[in-house]
Amino acid sequence: MKRKILSILLAGAMAATMLTACGGAPAAPAADAGAGEEAAAAEEEAAAPAADVASEGEHELSVYAWDANFNIPALQAAEAAYKAVDPDFTLNIITQSGSQDVEQAVTLAASAGDYSSLPDIVLFQDHYIQRFVADYPDAWQDLEDAGIDWTNLGAEKISYSTINGKHYGAPVDNGTAVFAYRTDVLEECGYTIDDVTSISWEKWLEIAREVKEKTGYAMLSMDHSGDDLPYMMLQAEGLSQWKDNTTPVLVGNDAFKSIIEVIVEGANDGTIILANSWGDYTDQTIIGNQVAGVMNGNWIIPTIEQVDENSGKWAITTLPTLEGGKEGYASNGGSSLYITANCSKPELARDFLAYTFGGGDGAIETYDAALKNGGVITCCISAGKSDVYQEGVEYFNGQAIYADIVEMGSHVPVIQQSDFHYNLRTLINTLITNVQNGADIDSEIQSAQDQIEFEIAGSTN
């Protein structure tokens, strides 16, 4: 048990670097080594179980969640929608600083063998839930009897929360990746949004070099401290970096090698900017008007919209692929809601989740308000057909981008995931940097595979 707890706490710390992208907050800095007794006391206090936060009222549920500008408005919308069937219903939303707080709460409760410190429901990162259910199977209550039509939800999204054939989570946000382009910049070079749809990465690089030469704009950027480009590009091919949870497939993976070559070529010719940090990525390259294209989970749209003078100059489409001739679909980021073992009203919790986020009668009201108040886009296909979703968005030249994103999400391929997703992402970051600086690509791929295998072996011994 101690090994599992340590490995998950480490994983949670690593994930903190990407939380801003998904509505979280960075972890607090480590305590000063010279803090002595004060640090020890703080650590002991942090390890102590929290007070009972489970709801007591017959019509009340409690939930841990983070991000007052994103997830919290979605939960408030769901609470308001559910009052149509239970006017006395109350959702006690307990705001956390980030997803790592929720992960730590579950870990500490499991360590104590007492889940009474947990709320009825927790918001949990998609990439981590399978490890937590596997390590702490008694911490969760499934949604098998919730009456949710799972075919109404994106298959890729619910693949994270379907474990050993059982559904555990109700999806909240849609992480579908989009490629957004400055149409005015494309037009200056004689291109339209159709010219960058269903194309190969080779053709994309050709267009990107022309755009760079004529306008000075790079065509794409990414936070290289947490580079998600390889993952999304490979998923658009319907492929994964993993054979199973603990078996990486980098060596001999021709598509993966080709993707690294595309990124390095673009970085070297200036058509792809690999920013040094998340702040540089958002503030300098996107808000700072250095790029004519942005490819990421759709949660990046509010960042794009920060530049008022570019309103009406953007459009979104799907991702390029290696061979071209088809639209590439991928996803990046996202969370779902899970019922804990401490919930004494699982029937109420299941009905609440099914009615709102699960695509029930309250899904449209929930997601219309969540979109307007927090920018949260539904994973529920039927809710994406509402009048609100069909409305054109002025910033994107009247394109009904939210309906388009829901449609894209229904096509994202389900690929093999791993608990070591973020560990490998860090190693691939190093791989790209080394190849960009002249290292042999095959040697670097072998090195990354050897290192991740070493880390996996160390965490399971």
Identify whether the C-beta of residue 85 lies closer than 8 Å to the C-beta of residue 355: yes
**Superfamily of 2-25+48-174+333-385 according to CATH:** Periplasmic binding protein-like II (3.40.190.10)
Identify whether the C-beta of residue 60 lies closer than 8 Å to the C-beta of residue 89: yes
Residue 54's pLDDT is: 73
Residue 33's pLDDT is: 31
What CA–CA distance (Å, rounded) separates 276 from 16? 16
Q: Which helix (H) or strand (E) holds 127?
A: helix 126-135
3-state secondary structure 22-73: HCCCCCCCCCCHHHCHHHHHHHHHHHCCCCCCCCCCCCEEEEEEECCCCHHH
Q: What CATH code would you report for 177-330+415-460?
A: 3.40.190.10
Longest CA–CA separation in the chain, Å? 66
Whether the domain at 2-25+48-174+333-385 and the domain at 177-330+415-460 fall into the same CATH topology? yes
Give domain limits for the chain: 2-25+48-174+333-385, 177-330+415-460
Residues with Cβ within 8 Å of 271's Cβ and at least 6 positions away in sequence, in order, are 205, 208, 209, 211, 212, 218, 219, 220
Identify whether the C-beta of residue 198 lies closer than 8 Å to the C-beta of residue 324: yes
**Each residue's pLDDT expressed in tens, for the chain with a length of 461 residues:** 433 443 444 334 333 433 433 433 333 223 333 333 333 333 333 333 344 587 788 999 999 999 998 999 999 999 999 999 999 999 999 999 989 999 999 999 999 999 999 999 999 999 889 889 999 999 999 999 999 999 999 999 999 999 999 999 999 999 999 999 999 999 999 999 999 999 999 999 999 999 999 999 999 999 998 889 999 999 999 999 999 989 999 999 999 999 999 999 999 999 999 999 999 999 999 999 999 999 999 989 989 999 999 999 999 999 999 999 999 999 998 899 999 999 999 999 999 999 999 999 999 999 999 999 999 999 999 999 999 999 999 999 999 999 999 999 999 999 999 989 989 999 999 999 999 999 999 999 999 999 999 999 988 66
What CA–CA distance (Å, rounded) separates 151 from 148? 9
Q: Which helix (H) or strand (E) holds 140?
A: strand 140-141
